[in-house]
Structure 1
Amino acid sequence: MSDNTFLWQGQPIAFTAGESIAAALTAAGIMNFGPDMAGRDTRYFCGIGACQGCLVQVDGRLTESCLTPASAGLQVTNAGGTHG
């Protein structure tokens, strides 16, 4: 894994400095961030953390991906915690 990648569902995702996880996932063509804890699909929507539609787990912690800076080596999964 290079210095500018994190893992999404076990797959490396490239990012640029200052980019959010949501922006990096979207740039990689990932528009559906998988299910949340209630089974609803999540995605990048408002970009300011108000809708919480982009919730993911980062290193096991639930967070808004649009507010979370991408960082090398992060382990990111969908909010439901599944790899499917």
Structure 2
Amino acid sequence: MPRFYFDFHDDGGTSVDETGAVFPSREAAKREALETLGVVARDFGYRHAQGRVAIQIRDDDAPPFLEVVVTFEARPLGK
């Protein structure tokens, strides 16, 4: 099975995954990234009112083949 690497990008910088994880397919790696980003987004939202969090997925055939992104923005409405 192929090994996939999940590099995290946010307003604080980039965290490069040097270990990776084994998944049966790119689709399975994509599902994992979406689930992971959901957890990261929840935690990020507690600490910040706005920003951007992304996971770029790559395999041994780098460069990244997919980016999953969540953008936060809190804006007051009305009074």
TM-score by length of 2: 0.31
Q: More strand per residue: 1 or 2? A: 2
Q: TM-score, normalised by structure 1?
A: 0.30
Normalized per residue, which structure has more helix? 2
Q: Which has the larger radius of gyration?
A: 2
